[in-house]
């Protein structure tokens, strides 16, 4: 699979622009703030129906305009595919594949697999558990539709249970039978989600460890651990045991929505004890492992977006990353960099076909 062409209209700082791409390496170079990352974000949008950097869709419309539109022409399994995503202020977002509009955007996830590595990934280290759960869910959802549907259903029931707890508190009442209806549904969906997450991480962690070993030159020991209340308790028991606490706090305090990943270097949190270079290497290894896992599961080589990843890395780690993505297991790659000469030199060395867009 590869993206042959993209056309942007009123997307972020871009009024109207089209790019025709190579099937291997495409690089955007230029000063900061010129719009390199916005082009990568548009490519991301075509796979995930949303921005990687701004969750408020209307804010992706160019200032002073009333709409944006992104068109992508793909070659997928020797078939030509067109994906169009558009949004007009005051209206719902529209996503079309080959001129047919989707009724549920979730049906599109995984059709055009993609992995992005960006400085924004640092949120996985510094932000709360919700960010790391979204990473797990994002990887699994690209190749497991039933998981995505169960996750959507779980979050819907969770919202309803929380609303009921608030109602109980506001009206100084309690109805255990009514609450048990939501507990049963949360247990059903939550148990299935936990088992899939557990199986995923059992397969994913060895891939991650291998990628980090290569990037670091096997100089450091890292760990990635799955943290879940369901390791020790059944979902139904968790909900039952926490009911008094839930009534006081007016929200559901136990369940798979509290799962987390522990990022460690040695036996210590990488957030506190890892250098910027080590943290960046950790995140790049995480994303390259995501790439390999998705490729194994979907039998489609994902598109890889590398947004300004060479910053804050020493030459040895940059070299190791280039060697990794130079492997034939990678398909189409998009790179942004502020240093045109450095990028050109790296691309010449790898011997693959490439194209440079100077913005």
| Average of per-residue pLDDT values in the chain | 90
**Per-residue b/e over 117-128, b at no fewer than 16 CB within 10 Å?**
bbeebeebbeee
**Tokens 């249970």, residue located:** 161
pTM of the model: 0.86
Model pLDDT, residue 351 = 65
Look at the chain and count its residues. Answer: 359
Topology of domain 125-299, CATH: Glutathione S-transferase Yfyf (Class Pi); Chain A, domain 2 (1.20.1050)
CATH placement of domain 1-113+302-359: 3.40.50.300
Model pLDDT, residue 324 = 67
Model pLDDT, residue 322 = 67
| Cα→Cα distances 179→159, 166, 189, 192, Å | 12, 12, 16, 20
Model pLDDT, residue 202 = 94
Domains of the chain, residue spans: 1-113+302-359, 125-299
Model pLDDT, residue 318 = 67
Residues in contact with 30: Cβ distance below 8 Å, sequence separation at least 6, in sequence order? 36, 338, 340, 358, 359
Instruction: Dump pLDDT digits (tens) for 233-280.
Output: 999 999 999 999 999 999 999 999 999 999 999 889 999 998 888 888
Instruction: Dump pLDDT digits (tens) for 165-186.
Output: 999 999 999 999 999 999 999 9
Model pLDDT, residue 319 = 63
Please identify every stretch of the chain with a pLDDT value under 50, giving residue numbers as ranges: none
Residue 267, both tokens: 């036996």
């Amino acid at each position: 699979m590869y993206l042959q062409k993209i056309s942007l209209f009123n997307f972020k700082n871009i009024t109207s622009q089209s790019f025709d791409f190579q099937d291997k390496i495409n690089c955007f170079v230029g000063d900061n703030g010129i719009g390199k990352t916005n082009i990568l974000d548009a490519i991301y949008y075509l796979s995930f129906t949303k921005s990687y950097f701004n969750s408020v869709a209307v804010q992706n419309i160019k200032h002073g305009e009333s709409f944006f539109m992104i068109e992508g022409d793909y070659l997928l399994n020797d078939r030509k595919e067109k994906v169009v995503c558009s949004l007009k202020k005051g209206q719902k977002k529209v996503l079309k594949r080959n001129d047919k509009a989707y009724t549920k955007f979730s049906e599109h996830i995984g059709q055009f697999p993609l992995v992005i590595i960006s400085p924004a990934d640092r949120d996985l280290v510094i932000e709360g558990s919700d960010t790391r759960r979204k990473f797990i869910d994002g990887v699994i959802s690209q190749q497991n539709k039933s998981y995505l549907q169960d996750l959507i259903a779980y979050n819907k029931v969770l919202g309803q249970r929380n609303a009921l707890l608030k109602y109980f508190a506001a009206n100084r009442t309690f109805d255990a039978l009514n609450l048990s209806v939501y507990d049963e549904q949360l247990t059903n969906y939550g148990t299935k989600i936990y088992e899939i997450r557990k199986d995923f991480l059992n397969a994913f962690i060895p891939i991650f460890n291998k990628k980090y070993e290569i990037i670091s030159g096997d100089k450091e020991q890292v760990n990635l651990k799955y943290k879940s209340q369901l390791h020790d308790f059944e979902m139904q028991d968790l909900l039952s045991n926490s009911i008094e606490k839930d009534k006081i706090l007016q929200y559901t305090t136990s369940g798979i929505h509290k799962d987390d990943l522990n990022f460690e270097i040695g036996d210590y949190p990488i957030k506190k004890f890892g250098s910027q270079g080590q943290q960046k290497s950790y995140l790049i290894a995480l994303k390259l492992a995501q790439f390999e896992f998705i490729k194994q599961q979907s039998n489609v080589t994902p598109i890889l977006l590398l947004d300004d990843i060479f910053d804050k890395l020493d030459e040895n780690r940059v070299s190791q990353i280039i060697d990794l993505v130079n492997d034939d297991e990678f398909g189409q790659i998009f790179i942004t960099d502020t240093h045109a000469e450095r990028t050109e030199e790296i691309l010449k060395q790898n011997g693959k076909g490439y194209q440079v867009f100077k913005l």
